[in-house]
Structure 1
Amino acid sequence: MGEVKSLGGPSPKRDGIFPSRFYFVGRLVLSFSMKNIDCQPKRRKARRWLLWLALLLAPGLVSAQRLSMLRAQGGKIVDAQGREVVLRGFNVGGWLLQESYLLKTDTLDSQARIRGGLLRTMSDQELEAFYEQYRATFVTKADIDFVAAQGFNCVRLPFHYDLFLTRQQRLERNKVSRRPRDPQAVEAYVQHLAQWYDQNQLFTDAQQLDGFRLLDQVLSWCAANNLYVILDLHAAPGGQGTDRNINDNFVPLDLWKRHDRQGRLIYQDITVRLWEKLAARYQHDPRVAMYDFINEPHRVDIENGLSNDNAEINVLYSRLINAVRGRGDQHLVLLEGNGYGNEYTNLTPDKLHVQDRSNLVYNAHRYWCPNDPAATDPNPNQINLLANLAAFRAKWQVPVWVGETGENSNEWFAGAVQGLDAQNIGWCHWNLKRVEGVTSLLRVRPYGSILTPAGRAALLRNSQFNQCVPNRDVIAALTRPATARTPFAALSIPGTIHATNYDMGRNGIAYHDAYAERIDYRKQAPTNNGSLYRNDGVDIEAVTDQASNGFAISDMAAGEWVNYTVSVTKAGAYTLRARVKNEARAPSRLTVKLDEAVIGSLTVGPAAGAAWTTVAVPTTVLPVGRHTLQLYVEQPGASLSWLQFDLSSTPTTQGGQ
């Protein structure tokens, strides 16, 4: 993607891009060439040209043929051969729609407000140039290759409808970003949209629109890795709810409420038009797994002047299904319920006003809820709990799929994957990357402020794949068996062991923490008090103390422990030093064990000003080999930066240094 310099898009030959239209042209060319192998001389020039074109397209043809169109069969998603396909993958959010919390621009709270802030110091042309660079670097083929390398088989691609406007049309939207609280500016934009709609000037020049070019690009990258793509309209025209991050609306719920001067729900008309254009382009494309019509409609309720039974959502979904099916497109279509994608009253298959109810898939977004397979919601149409998901699938004989899940601890991730996999329910983790994010697949280093030239330059640099840090503990939680425990780092004795480099694995296996997962959305307390470095229940703080790796384990409660896989390379008794502090009023006591046998005990007295200090104790004789070292909290209060083991021939008494 970094090579893209113009709206015309990259070369299919150079970049391996293989839009759906090339697939069918390639098949036609190959067929024509074989059938006309004995053609007359006057036709040989045309034949040679067609053969050259076939060779040009052949790499993409091979990629596209790896995947087959998916369809619904009862409660399963199956491929063209009838084999069940369980889609498990990652969301590629924050790219084709910027969400403030992913970029650490929370005070701006939406892409439109980010753009408005940028437009205070940039021209429209400079803004477009920045976003072209951002889209060229934030996600590239290297990111998609990395997703595939972890064993996933799909990506969900959230996008903003404004990518399917021309750049000239986006200038009208910029005017509202400059004056977001001006009703006249909003109304002027709506009337421009209505005019473009009536004059058939929306989404018509696919070759020149950023949205189609970017979708084609992602489809090519994914096909090269045998990954399916879910096309997700994440920011619908007008906004599907009240959350600015995902709606990027100027007025909340305008998708459901805004009428133009002709009395039309113009944003809905535009949404239908967009999906008609998408269906026209991709209707035969096997790389597309599903169309996700509208992400997370929410607050569509009586409190906001709408119905209390999802009637408005039913009407729009029915229009969208009919529009796509009317083009002969039989792709799976993913429906998202009210309340951030989960509640389906009046949206079940029997309630939709459609003739063709085939290939429907029902979505859930699972955040901050129990993974207990026995937990149920009394509303059978609220399906984010595991039991409700399975029951809904069985009752309506439709596939269900978790389009988003995450934003929690590794313990919760592992439990969610275990529960969903047990039911053969696919899922897609949120999110691929985020700034200073411990829950994502990739972590982007801090960059400053997006509103400054230096900050923007750093963001473009730091968000590139080769600058990101893989969150290996997150990957392990999503891909390893529930009982697995694996080293986070290679640790040897003698040597220094940083406290935060404890093993990867679930609570009770790699560590024990009293609060390791969030299962109540109303409970805001983080599972990791510092939300730093790792994504477990173990609390971690940033430190600048000597010889530190920058982090320390903190807020340790009595009975908590962490395990380390270590290799003892030299047998003998050791001096164990620990870099600690104690902000409590009473002494803290930590026990160190090797394979369950106590090898030393550390007492950390309270220190004025909570200064870091080093305490040292002798150990018992440690045998050579691979062992489990455990730090156990007998009495709370201490923070630990590191443990250091040095061979010692003389006893060491405990004391501060």
Structure 2
Amino acid sequence: MKKRDVLSRRGPLYCWLLPVLLLVVLWSSGLAQAQKMSLLRAQGGKIVDAGGQEIVLRGFNVGGWLLQESYILKTDTLDSQARIRGGLLRTMSDQELEDFYARYRASFVTKADIDFVAAQGFNCVRLPFHYDLFLTREQRVARNNVSRRPRDPRTVEAYVQSLTRWYDQNQLFTDPQNLDGFRLIDQVLSWCAANNLYVILDLHAAPGGQGFDRNINDNFVPLDLWKRKDSKGRLIYQDITVRLWEKLAARYQHDPRVAMYDFINEPHKVNVENGLSNDNAEINVLYSRLINAVRAQGDQHLLLLEGNGYGNEYTNLTPDKLRIKDRRNLVYNAHRYWCPNDPKAADPNPNQINLLANLAAFRDKWQVPVWVGETGENSNEWFAGAVQGLNAQKIGWCHWNLKRVEGVTSLLRVRHYGSILTPEGRTALLRNIQFKECVPNRDVIAALTSPATARTPFATLRIPGTIHATDYDMGRNGVAYHDAYAERIDYRKEAPTNNGSICRNDGIDIQRVADQPSNGFAISDMAAGEWINYTVSVAKPEAYLLQARVKNDAAAPARLTVRLDDKEVGSLTVTPDPAAAWTTVSVSTAVLPAGQHTLQLYVEQPGASVSWLQFTPSSTTPTTQGGQ
């Protein structure tokens, strides 16, 4: 007899109970894993476990999953999740949209992704989410109506009226077993606990929107969290935010798998220029309400506060200024992007804490833990300097981000898929975001986890053989390579450290090439005095013919020196070519000693781009790759 026949003969009650029992088993398993972890707490400027052991939380953000950000998906012109949904709704029904997002959420992050994060040695995951995941699917239809007509203020007002009605009738966030948000959090907690990873719950898109940037907070009207009042004069979005955290605390208050509650991600432009105060008064009021609401339930989780100005500025938000009775277990956040890693660099405002010196000083003055909830979007050189500086101060951090379409700064790279607005593009997207389809950015992982002086091979390189120019070693600027502009330390200077922003994430500039049979990339824009190291294995002592695939579109000849363990073995001159055509130049080397060595490509005179180097024994007729 077929299994489905057995089930049908046991009746509908059994068929209904089976999935419920399965959920109970999974929930019990998650709780069993949770018992191996302990609720974290603050002890002075440290985060400690139940036994008083200091825990420094270092991990990854899983952004772009439970809140889509356009640049992560390469849909920049759409600008936000609401506008992506609005574009999709031109050709989809509400139900079809829900079905697509269910498949997207089921694919973007899975247990395999979390297992991979843990395998790299990290111990936490920050989970950015959108508040609309805690609405019912029927309630999200009202939000979809605004996405369809975002420029019509009447649709926004109608949505606010709906939220107000649901709030007053206690119809918001009341069914944890069936709401997507709770289900997804439970799933992540289970995956993370199996790997002894803590989870930080991050309300990334708060009701109404906490700033101007729609990518970050998916607002319809900027700063509505701080400004929008309902017909009764209430700051209704703030009331809804408090209720959401009350519901989250009610469900997770005793769950040690949760490290922290991150109340609101990156408030920004909450200032007098936008009709608000100049001292974060509005943020103080809401944070005080949130802290009191969570503590009223007996929840003692760590509470992460984010300052104004994208999470960094804490005027009027220090522990003594908050209107709360219980000041235990507060943690102060910084988001570090495009700023110096010099430990001596300091901001004159002691409440602006994204610089290393200010972070440590704020922690020591107020005796509260500090934590960098986001850091990234830079070069590997900057990553290494940042994490080494933070690690030296025992300040935890969370890299941004796990995945990004064609991203060189993320842990995993998602292949291009086309347009999310076409059926073919969506099919490709749902395939490409799966863990098995993603490409690990090994150089990013190395930058985040290796010692300052580490240099490791990016690829296995042998002589005789072909060395692709982009297969240089992994390591810091001055160790694996030298480039004059290898990190971005001024947010006002937007020039990319890698001019092509492709392939690798160092200061080395890389361009795509169609020249065959290359690996599709070449190093370019090399200045005089710059160099690149390769770890190579020479099979036997022998003289070689060195060929290089190069081009030069500069006005003067370029000259490259090739060294083996600091001894020059060849010099290559690349003549100018206005057509910038690829050509092959060659030189004979002296006898190269057998064994492992460092091969260095040094720029004597700039102008050349290099696709590959090929070493052929002098006794062998060379096979030229690519033609003259």
TM beyond 0.5: yes
In 2: Cα distance, 1:322 partner to 1:11 partner: 37
> Residue 150 of structure 1 corresponds to which residue in structure 2?
120
Amino acid at match of 2:530: E
Structure 1 residue 62: deviation in Å? Answer: 3.6
Amino acid at match of 1:184: R
In 2: Cα distance, 1:136 partner to 1:247 partner: 22
Structure 1 residue ranges, 4+ long, deviating more than 6 angstroms after superposition: 12-17
In 2: Cα distance, 1:211 partner to 1:17 partner: 20
> Residue 432 of structure 1 corresponds to which residue in structure 2?
402
Residues 88-134 of structure 1, C-alpha deviations (whole Å, 9 max, x = no match) = 00000000000000000000010000000000011111000000000
> Residue 521 of structure 2 corresponds to which residue in structure 1?
551
Contact map agreement 1:75 1:394 (CA 8 A) in 2: yes
> Residue 45 of structure 2 corresponds to which residue in structure 1?
75
Structure 1 residue 16: deviation in Å? Answer: 9.7
> Residue 637 of structure 1 corresponds to which residue in structure 2?
607
Amino acid at match of 1:359: N
Q: Residue 370 in 1 paired to residue 340 in 2? A: yes
Amino acid at match of 1:198: D
Q: Give the 3-state SS of the residue equivalent to 1:221 in structure 2.
A: helix
Amino acid at match of 2:374: E
Q: Give the 3-state SS of the residue equivalent to 1:343 in structure 2.
A: coil
Give 1:493's match in structure 2, choosing from 463, 472, 485. 463
> Residue 240 of structure 1 corresponds to which residue in structure 2?
210
> Residue 417 of structure 2 corresponds to which residue in structure 1?
447
Q: Give the 3-state SS of the residue equivalent to 1:63 in structure 2.
A: helix
Equivalent residues in 2 for 1:471-620 (5 A)? 471-620=441-590
Residues 215-250 of structure 1, C-alpha deviations (whole Å, 9 max, x = no match) = 000000000000000000000000000000011010
In 2: Cα distance, 1:193 partner to 1:356 partner: 31
Structure 1 residue 608: deviation in Å? Answer: 2.8
> Residue 178 of structure 2 corresponds to which residue in structure 1?
208
> Residue 325 of structure 2 corresponds to which residue in structure 1?
355
> Residue 36 of structure 1 corresponds to which residue in structure 2?
none
In 2: Cα distance, 1:191 partner to 1:571 partner: 81
Residues 445-469 of structure 1, C-alpha deviations (whole Å, 9 max, x = no match) = 0000000000000000000000000
Structure 1 residue 376: deviation in Å? Answer: 0.3
> Residue 467 of structure 1 corresponds to which residue in structure 2?
437
Residues 263-312 of structure 1, C-alpha deviations (whole Å, 9 max, x = no match) = 00000000000000000000000000000000000000000000000000
Q: Residue 138 in 1 paired to residue 112 in 2? A: no
Q: Give the 3-state SS of the residue equivalent to 1:517 in structure 2.
A: coil
Structure 1 residue 571: deviation in Å? Answer: 1.7
> Residue 628 of structure 1 corresponds to which residue in structure 2?
598
Contact map agreement 1:442 1:470 (CA 8 A) in 2: yes
Structure 1 residue 531: deviation in Å? Answer: 0.3
In 1: Cα distance, 2:393 partner to 2:348 partner: 20
Structure 1 residue 14: deviation in Å? Answer: 6.3
Q: 1:406 to 1:16 in 2, by over 3 A?
A: farther
Contact map agreement 1:16 1:220 (CA 8 A) in 2: no
Q: Give the 3-state SS of the residue equivalent to 1:294 in structure 2.
A: coil
Q: 1:489 to 1:464 in 2, by over 3 A?
A: same
Give 1:416's match in structure 2, choosing from 358, 364, 386. 386
Contact map agreement 1:10 1:17 (CA 8 A) in 2: no
Structure 1 residue 567: deviation in Å? Answer: 0.4
In 2: Cα distance, 1:650 partner to 1:61 partner: 66
Q: Residue 282 in 1 paired to residue 242 in 2? A: no
Residues 316-375 of structure 1, C-alpha deviations (whole Å, 9 max, x = no match) = 000000000000000000000000000000000000000000000000000000000000
Amino acid at match of 2:529: G
Contact map agreement 2:30 2:189 (CA 8 A) in 1: no
Amino acid at match of 2:57: L
Q: Residue 170 in 1 paired to residue 156 in 2? A: no
Contact map agreement 1:9 1:213 (CA 8 A) in 2: no
Give 1:395's match in structure 2, choosing from 362, 365, 374. 365
Contact map agreement 2:45 2:364 (CA 8 A) in 1: yes
In 2: Cα distance, 1:327 partner to 1:609 partner: 72
Structure 1 residue 547: deviation in Å? Answer: 1.3
Q: Residue 182 in 1 paired to residue 163 in 2? A: no
In 2: Cα distance, 1:614 partner to 1:81 partner: 65
Q: 1:306 to 1:78 in 2, by over 3 A?
A: same
Structure 1 residue 9: deviation in Å? Answer: 13
> Residue 54 of structure 1 corresponds to which residue in structure 2?
none
Q: 1:130 to 1:651 in 2, by over 3 A?
A: closer
| Root-mean-square deviation (Å) | 1.6
Structure 1 residue 570: deviation in Å? Answer: 2.3
Structure 1 residue 61: deviation in Å? Answer: 4.2
Residues 362-421 of structure 1, C-alpha deviations (whole Å, 9 max, x = no match) = 000000000000000000000000000000000000000000000000000000011000
Structure 1 residue 63: deviation in Å? Answer: 1.3
In 2: Cα distance, 1:539 partner to 1:190 partner: 49
Q: Give the 3-state SS of the residue equivalent to 1:285 in structure 2.
A: coil
Contact map agreement 1:11 1:17 (CA 8 A) in 2: no
Amino acid at match of 1:324: V
Amino acid at match of 2:126: R
Amino acid at match of 2:241: T
Contact map agreement 1:590 1:633 (CA 8 A) in 2: yes
> Residue 27 of structure 1 corresponds to which residue in structure 2?
none
Q: Give the 3-state SS of the residue equivalent to 2:77 in structure 1.
A: coil
What runs of 5+ residues in structure 2 fail to find an aligned partner? Answer: 1-15
Equivalent residues in 2 for 1:262-301 (5 A)? 262-301=232-271
Q: Residue 325 in 1 paired to residue 325 in 2? A: no
Q: Give the 3-state SS of the residue equivalent to 2:559 in structure 1.
A: strand
Amino acid at match of 1:123: S
In 1: Cα distance, 2:159 partner to 2:17 partner: 28
Contact map agreement 1:18 1:216 (CA 8 A) in 2: no
In 2: Cα distance, 1:267 partner to 1:185 partner: 16
Percent identity over the alignment? Answer: 83
Amino acid at match of 1:368: W
> Residue 315 of structure 1 corresponds to which residue in structure 2?
285
Q: Give the 3-state SS of the residue equivalent to 1:72 in structure 2.
A: strand
> Residue 227 of structure 2 corresponds to which residue in structure 1?
257
In 2: Cα distance, 1:248 partner to 1:550 partner: 37
In 2: Cα distance, 1:527 partner to 1:650 partner: 40
In 2: Cα distance, 1:651 partner to 1:590 partner: 24
Amino acid at match of 2:601: L
Amino acid at match of 2:67: L
Q: 1:485 to 1:285 in 2, by over 3 A?
A: same
Q: Residue 88 in 1 paired to residue 29 in 2? A: no
Contact map agreement 1:409 1:536 (CA 8 A) in 2: yes
In 2: Cα distance, 1:172 partner to 1:13 partner: 33
Amino acid at match of 1:216: D
Contact map agreement 1:16 1:60 (CA 8 A) in 2: no
In 1: Cα distance, 2:30 partner to 2:302 partner: 23
> Residue 304 of structure 1 corresponds to which residue in structure 2?
274
Residues 631-656 of structure 1, C-alpha deviations (whole Å, 9 max, x = no match) = 0000000000000000013899x9x9
Give 1:197's match in structure 2, choosing from 118, 142, 167. 167
Amino acid at match of 1:633: V
Q: Give the 3-state SS of the residue equivalent to 1:574 in structure 2.
A: strand
In 1: Cα distance, 2:23 partner to 2:426 partner: 27
Q: 1:392 to 1:432 in 2, by over 3 A?
A: same
Tell me the matched-pair count: 610
> Residue 10 of structure 2 corresponds to which residue in structure 1?
none
> Residue 335 of structure 1 corresponds to which residue in structure 2?
305
> Residue 98 of structure 2 corresponds to which residue in structure 1?
128
Amino acid at match of 2:99: A
Structure 2-normalised TM-score?
A: 0.95
